[in-house]
Structure 1
Amino acid sequence: MVNIRNLTDLEQQIKEDFTHLNIPKKSWMIPRNHLENEKNHIDVAIIGAGMSGLALSLALYTEGINAIVFDQCKEGEEGPWKNTARMETLRSPKQAIGPALSFPSLTFQAWFKAQFGQEHWELLDKIPRLQWHDYLQWFKKVTQPYILYEHNLIDLNVGEKGSTLYFKNLANGEIQTYMSSHTILAMGIDSFSSPNIPTFMNNVSNHRWEHAYHRSNYHKFKNLDIGVIGYSAGAMDSSATALECGAKSVEILCRCKDFPRVNRGKVAFNSGYLNSYPYWSDQQKWDFNYYLKQERTPAPHGSTLRVSHHKNAYFNFDEHVVSVKEYQNKIHIQTKKHHFIFDYLILATGFSLNWSKYSWLSYIRDHTKQWKDQYISNELPDNSLSQAPYLTTNFEFIAKSKQLDSDFSRLYCFNYSASLSQGPLVGMISGVEHGAPHLAKAISHKIYLDSFDQYINKVKHSEDFELEGNEWEVTLPYVTRQS
C-alpha cells in the first residue's frame, strides 16, 4: 500500500491496484484483421467522451475489451461543466463513485484527499462544478481511453454485423468512415433532446431571449431587468448567475403554486432500486415515472439559497404565461394574472426528446421501437414518455421489424434517453457505476458468441502445452516389475 501524499502517490497506488486485479486482462479477443478486411473495422465504438463514455471505456477495459471513443469537442472541453452548466456545485453527494466503478483509488474522494487532505474533505459540502471537470480530466489521464477528438457523428447505418459510422473530422473537414461491431451512444443529457421552447415563443425573435442551456456570457445582463421562466435547478442556476453578473433584477415566473419540497427520485435511490429497475414490468416503469413527473423535482437547497439571498430576486408563483411579445426593445409577458416587462428573457423550460435532431437519429426512430409501440397507459397518458426509446435490459434498441432485430441489438442507448427503460443507470453520477459494468459484460458475452466457432477452434487447436512429455519416464509393465 502506497503512502498517499499527493497525486503522484495516488497514481502509483492505482497502478498497483490494477496489477493486483490482473488488469488489463489476458488478451482473449480474436484480432479483428483475422475476421474482417476493412481498414477501419473496430469492435466497440463509444460516441461521447464525457463521464458516461469514460466509465464505459474503463468497464470494457476491465473485461479485456479496448474501445475507441469519439467526441466532437476539442480535448479538455468534454461535457457541460465548462460551458453550459452554471451550478456552483454538483447535485450528487460528494461521496458519489461515478465513473470510478469499483476502484477506490479512482474516486473523486481519493483524488481530492490526495491534494487537499482529510481535513479539507470533511469541510467540503458538495463537489464544485469546475473541480469535477478537473477530476474527469485526471481520470481520463490515468485510465487512458483511446479518444478521437473533433469527430462529429453525421450519420450511421445499421447492418447485420454492426454499424457503419460516418464522422466529420472538424479539424480538417474530412469525412471518415468506420465499421463498428458494437456502437454505444453515450453523448449525455442532450443526446436525443433539444431545449424545450414553449409555443408562446413562436413569433418572438431571438434577440432578447435564450434558453438556459445556451452557451452565453451572463455579464451582458449587467444593469438589466431579467425574466426567468421555470422553477427547476436550471432556473435557479441561471437566475443566480445573472444576479452575480450584475443584473438589476431577476423575476422568476413559476406556474406552480409552490415549490415541490421532496425529491422523490433521490429518496428512491438505493442499490436495490438500481439493480432491479431494468427488470420492472412496463406498467411499473411507466407508473413510477409518471408519478415522478407529477410530483416534480425541487431545485436543490443550495441552488435556491444562492438566488434568494439577493434582495433583487423575486419569486412569482402561479404565473401561467399567456403571451410573449417584443415591443420597444423590451420583452412583454402577459400571464393570467399580471403583465411583466423585461430587458431579456431566459427560458429554463428543460429538454424534450427530438428524434429529428440528426439524420442518424431519425433513422433510429424510423426503425426501432418507442414506448408507444410497446406499452400505452390509458389511465396515465403522457406524450413525452411515449416517445422514449424502448430498450432491452442491456440498453439495446429493439427493431420494429423482426428481420432487423439482430442488427439493432448491436446499437446501444447509454444516455439520459434510456431512463424510462433503464432507470438512472445512465446520465446520473450515482448511477453510472451500476450501468457501465452491466453493459460491458453484455457486450463481452456477445463478442464471444459472435465468433463462437473461432474461439472454440482456438481451444481445440491450442499448443499451449501444460506438459512437454519430459516430466516422467515410462515404466516397465507392473507384472515385470514384480518378478
Structure 2
Amino acid sequence: MDEFFDVDGEARRALDLLGPAPENWVPARAGIDHDVLIVGGGQTGCALAFALRRAGIGRTSVIDAAADAAGAGVWLNRARMNLLRTPKTLVGPEIDVAGVSFRAWYEARYGRDAYQSIERAPRKTWAAYLAWYRAFLDIPVRYGVRLARIEPAGNHFRLHLEADGETRVETARKVVLCNGVAGNGRAYVPEALAHLPPAFLAHTSQAIDFAALHGKSVAVIGAAASAFDAAATALEAGAADVHLFARRDVLAAKPVSRTRGYPGAYDNYPGLPDALRWSQARRFRREGSTPPRDSVERVTRFANFHLHLGANIEAARIEAHRIALNVRGEVFAFEFAIAGTGYLIELFARPELADIAPHVRLWRDQYTPPAAEADAGLGAHPYLGEALEYTEKTPGAAPWLRDIHVYNPAGFVSAGVPVGDVPSMRRDIPAVVRRISRDLFHADFDAHAARLNADVPADFDTTLYAANVWHAQGQNQPLAQDLS
C-alpha cells in the first residue's frame, strides 16, 4: 500500500535538522545594492539563491525578464518534451538538502510506488515542483526586470536594468548569468532560412502557436531533441504533415557524454588539461546531439511524419504564400517552418555584454588544437575558470571579469556538461557559491580579521567552579576529613 506525506512538513523537518540559515556575514558597502545579482529566475537561479542563503550571503537579488513565474525558465513555454531528458535520480536544485528534492516532493504528493514507476520526471510535473520549491523556500524573484548592460565600475558593477518601460541602475559586487541557452549568444538559424518572414518561420526558442498549425504542412529543420519535440507537438496539434530534415545520414544515437558521468571524471572535469576537454567537446560535436528514444518514438507513431536524412537545406523562398524548400534536387512546399538548429555562442550578440565581451578570453585564445580538431564554434566558447567565472583575454587588463559567473551552456567546453541543466547542479552550484564566498570574504579581509580578533565576553567567571578546585596540602587549606 502506498504512503503519502505532508510535503511541506517533511521539507521543513529536513531544514530544521540542518539548523537555521546563517545570518548575513558580508559587510555592507556604501553605494552597493547587492552583493550578488542573479540574472534568471529559473531552476538554477533559484537554486543558487537558496545555496547562497545557506552560505550566509544574504544580500542576493534574482531578476528575470519574464512577466511572471510561469514565463520564467523554459518548462511551461519553450520546452516541449513530455519527459525530462535526464534521469530522475540526478541531484537537482536541492543540492544537499534531500527534503526539498524532486523525489521528496513527488513521493509526498503521489506516493513512493508512483515515484518508483517513473524513469524520468514529466515536464509539467517538474515545473510544478520548481514552483513549489521557489514558494516553499521563499525565494523572491523580481519579474519583468531585464538586464540591459553590465558596466564595470572598479570593484563592482553598475547594472542597467529595464522594468516597466524605464531604465534604472543598481550596483552589485558579483553577477551570475543564469540566463538560459542563449545567454552568451543567440539562436542559430541557417543562412538559407534566415531571410524568411516571421509569419513563415520560428526557432524552437520562440513561443510557437502550434494550434495555428492544425491542418498545415510543416517543415522542421534539425535533428536534436528540440527539433523532434517541436515536430511531435505540431503533429499532436493536428498538422497535416511534418517533414523533418536532418543533415546526417543516420540520426545521432550515441550519447557520448555518458562516458564522463562517473564521479571521478565529473568532479574533476574542470581541472582536466585543455587538450582533453577540447577533444571531449569535439567528440560530442562529431557524434551529434542525440534525441531521446521516446522523442523519436513520439513522432514515428504518426503516418504523416516524414524523415529526410542527409538533407541540407539549399535554398528557401516564398512562393504563392508557401515556403519552397530546395533539398537535394527536390522542391518541397510548406506553410510553416521550424528551425530546431540550436544556438551560437557569440558574446558580441548580447547587448548587455557589450562592455565586457572584448576582454573575455575565449577557447580560441587559450588553446590551439591540431588542424584536424579545429572547430570555430567551440573556439567561440568563453574559457571559464573552475567556478565558471570569465577569465581575461589579456592578463591584468580586466580583473573584474572574475566576478561574473557564467551559469549557462556557454560553459560546455570548460565544464563538460550542459551548464544550467540538472547534470551541472551538484558540482557547479557549490563551486560557484564557494568562490563567491571566498572572494567576498577576502575582499573585506581587514573587517573579517578585526571580527576574528574581537574581544569575546566570558560565558562564566571563576565562581562557577571555585568550590571544586583542588588545592595541594600546605597551601593554607583545610585537609580533607579522614573517612576511614
The TM tier, using the shorter chain, reads over 0.9
1:442 aligned to which of 435, 440, 458: 435
* Structure 2 residue ranges without an equivalent (≥5): 479-484
1:23-62 CA-partner distances (Å, limit 9, x unpaired):
313x361441xxx222x52211111111111121122122
Using the TM superposition, give the Cα deviation of residue 418 of structure 1 relative to its aligned residue in structure 2, in angstroms. 1.1
Shift of 1:480: 4.7
Q: Which residue of 2 aligns with 1:273?
A: 265
Q: Which residue of 2 aligns with 1:257?
A: 249
Indicate the residue corresponding to 2:481 in structure 1.
none
Asked whether 1:29 is paired with 2:25, we answer: yes
Which residue identity lines up with residue 406 of structure 1 in the other structure? P
1:12 aligns with 2:9: yes
**In structure 2, C-alpha distance between the alignment counterparts of 1:330 and 1:345, rounded to whole Å:** 10
Structure 2 Cα separation of the partners of residues 203 and 17 of structure 1: 54
SS at match of 2:464: coil
Match of 1:127 in 2: 121
Change (3 A) 1:212 1:142: same
Aligned residue number for residue 406 of structure 2: 413
Q: Deviation of residue 96 (structure 1)?
A: 2.7
Q: Judge which range, 9-18 or 300-309, deviates more.
A: 9-18
Match of 1:82 among 73, 76, 79: 76
Deviation at 1:382, TM superposition (A): 0.6
- Whether the 8 Å contact between 2:7 and 2:109 is mirrored in structure 1 is no
3-state DSSP of counterpart to 1:363:
coil
Per-residue deviation at 1:427? 1.7
1:243 match: 235
Match of 2:396 in 1: 403
Distance 1:124 1:28 in 2: 40
Q: Give the RMSD, CA atoms, in angstroms.
A: 2.2
Q: Whole-Å Cα distance in 2 between the matches of residues 389 and 43 of structure 1?
A: 24
- Report the residue type matching 1:429 in the other structure: V
The whole-number CA distance in structure 2 between the counterparts of 1:322 and 1:459 is 68
Contact 1:63/1:440 (8 A) holds in 2: yes
Q: Which amino acid aligns with 1:407?
A: W
Once the two structures are overlaid, the 10-residue window that deviates more, 418-427 or 469-478, is 469-478
Pick from 130, 139, 154 the counterpart of residue 160 of structure 1: 154
Q: Distance in 1 between matches of 2:149 and 2:172?
A: 13
Give the whole-Å Cα distance in 2 for the aligned partners of 1:381 and 1:29.
47
Secondary structure at the counterpart of residue 184 of structure 1: strand
The match for 2:166 among 164, 174, 178 is 174
State the shift of 1:180 in Å: 1.0
The residue number in structure 1 matching 2:416 is 423
Alignment of 1:213-362 (within 5 A): 213-362=205-354
SS at match of 1:392: coil
- Length-normalised TM-score, structure 2: 0.92
- TM-score, with structure 1 as normaliser: 0.92
Q: 2:458: which partner in 1?
A: 465
Measure, in 1, the Cα distance between the counterparts of 2:308 and 2:351: 41
Task: Return the alpha-carbon distance in structure 2 between the equivalents of residues 196 and 30 of structure 1.
Answer: 41
8 Å Cα contact 1:43-1:181 kept in structure 2: yes
Shift of 1:113: 1.0
Q: Would you say the 8 A contact 2:46–2:134 is kept in 1?
A: yes
1:51 paired residue number: 43
Aligned-partner SS, 1:182? strand
Distance 2:388 2:148 in 1: 22
Determine which of 363, 374, 381 is the counterpart of 1:381: 374
What are the residue-to-residue correspondences of 1:58-207 with 2, within 5 Å?
Answer: 58-66=50-58, 67-77=60-70, 78-170=72-164, 173-207=165-199
The answer to whether the Cα contact below 8 Å between 1:52 and 1:188 also exists between their aligned partners in 2 is: no
Q: Is the 8 A contact 2:260 2:266 kept in 1?
A: no
Aligned residue pairs total 472
Aligned to 2:425: 432
Instruction: Quote the Cα distance in structure 2 between the aligned partners of 1:117 and 1:13.
Output: 14
Quote how far apart the aligned CAs of 1:465 are: 2.4
- 2:149–2:354: 8 Å Cα contact kept in structure 1? no
Offset at residue 202 of structure 1 (A):
4.3
What code does the residue aligned with 1:445 have? Answer: R
Q: Write the deviation string for residues 359-397 of structure 1: whole angstroms up to 9, x where unpaired.
A: 222222112211111112132111111111111112111
CA 1:255/1:448 → structure 2, altered by over 3 Å: closer, same or farther?
Answer: same
CA contact (8 A) 2:38 2:45 kept: yes
Contact 1:70 1:151 in 2 (8 A): yes
Q: Provide the rounded CA distance (Å) in 1 between the counterparts of 2:395 and 2:143.
A: 36
Distance 2:390 2:188 in 1: 25
Counterparts of 1:225 and 1:165, CA distance in 2: 45
Q: Percent identity between the aligned chains? A: 22
> AA paired with 1:29?
W
Task: Check whether the contact 1:160–1:406 (CA below 8 A) recurs between aligned residues.
Answer: no
- Give how far 1:470 is off: 4.1
**SS in structure 2 at match of 1:360:** helix
The correspondence for 1:208, drawn from 200, 203, 207, is 200
Distance 1:216 1:448 in 2: 46
Q: Is the 8 A contact 1:154 1:358 kept in 2?
A: no
CA distance in structure 1 between the aligned counterparts of 2:102 and 2:182, rounded to whole angstroms: 24
Query: Partners in 2 of 1:30 and 1:276 — Cα distance?
Result: 29
Counterparts in 2 of 1:480 and 1:239: CA distance versus 1, 3 Å: closer
TM superposition shift of 1:109: 1.3
Code of the residue aligned with 1:164 in structure 2: it is R
Give 1:82's aligned amino acid: L
The answer (yes or no) to whether the contact 1:48–1:70 under 8 Å persists in 2 is yes
Could you tell me how far 1:273 is from its partner in structure 2? 2.1
Contact between 2:185 and 2:350, CA under 8 Å: does it hold in 1? no
Contact 1:219 1:245 in 2 (8 A): yes
Give 1:479 deviation, angstroms: 6.0
Contact 1:68 1:145 in 2 (8 A): no
- 8 Å contact 1:319–1:337 — kept in the other structure? no
Distance change in 2, residues 1:467/1:297 (3 Å): same
Q: Is the alpha carbon distance of 1:180 and 1:251 closer, same or farther for their aligned partners in structure 2, counting shifts above 3 Å? A: same
Cα distance between partner residues in 2 of 1:260 and 1:330: 30
Is there any run of 5+ residues in structure 1 with no aligned partner, and where?
A: none
**What SS is found at the alignment partner of 1:349?**
coil
Please report how far the alpha carbon of residue 235 of structure 1 lies from its aligned counterpart in structure 2 after TM superposition: 1.3
